[in-house]
């Protein structure tokens, strides 16, 4: 069975923008979306994620209490993102996010974090470089704030100039 990864809102949006949901079954993690995050998704709604194989879960009472504690330490992080962090912490699973403040909080809490670039890298043996480059370009065009140097390096690798 694949390890679990708790996804936040921006990770879900980046998957959607990159048109990567069709590859969800090829990811090396089983994606879980906290139900509070599903409430934040406007476009797309949660349905395409569920149809692609993602799961939604509710926070346990202990996780809700942990969110209250975390909100005192990480004021720049949204409540929905703190739910994703709390669930990843309590369940000892991977946190899937590209959010800078949430990544910093997760690192301070010793939670393993991966983002969309890691996910794209993990698909290199399964899809063409051109597909990955196009997905990354769509994600960036959608407004994702990813490290420019890392994006540029991947685009050069996936779509080398001849």
Give me Rg for the CA atoms of the chain: 16
Is pLDDT of 117 > 80? yes
Is pLDDT of 112 > 60? yes
Percent of the chain with pLDDT over 90: 81
Please indicate whether residue 80 or residue 1 has the higher confidence score (pLDDT): 80
**For the residues 105-112, what does the mean pLDDT come to?**
96
CATH 3.40.50.1010 region(s) of the chain?
A: 4-115
Residue with tokens 């069975």: 1
Structural domain 4-115, CATH architecture: 3-Layer(aba) Sandwich (3.40)
């Amino acid at each position: 069975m694949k390890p679990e990864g708790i996804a936040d809102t921006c990770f879900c949006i980046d998957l959607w923008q990159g048109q990567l949901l069709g590859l969800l079954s090829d990811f090396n993690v089983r994606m879980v979306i906290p139900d509070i995050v599903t409430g934040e998704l406007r476009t797309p709604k949660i349905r395409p994620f569920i149809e692609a194989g993602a799961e939604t879960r509710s926070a346990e009472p202990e996780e809700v209490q942990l969110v209250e504690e975390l909100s005192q330490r990480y004021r720049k992080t949204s409540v929905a993102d703190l739910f994703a962090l709390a669930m990843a912490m309590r369940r000892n699973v991977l946190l899937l996010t590209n959010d800078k403040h949430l990544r910093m909080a997760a690192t301070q809490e010793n939670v393993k974090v991966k983002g969309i670039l890691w996910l794209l890298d993990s698909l290199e043996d399964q899809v063409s470089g051109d597909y990955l480059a196009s997905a990354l370009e769509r994600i960036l065009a959608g407004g994702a704030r990813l490290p420019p140097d890392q994006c540029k390096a991947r685009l050069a690798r996936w779509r080398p100039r001849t």
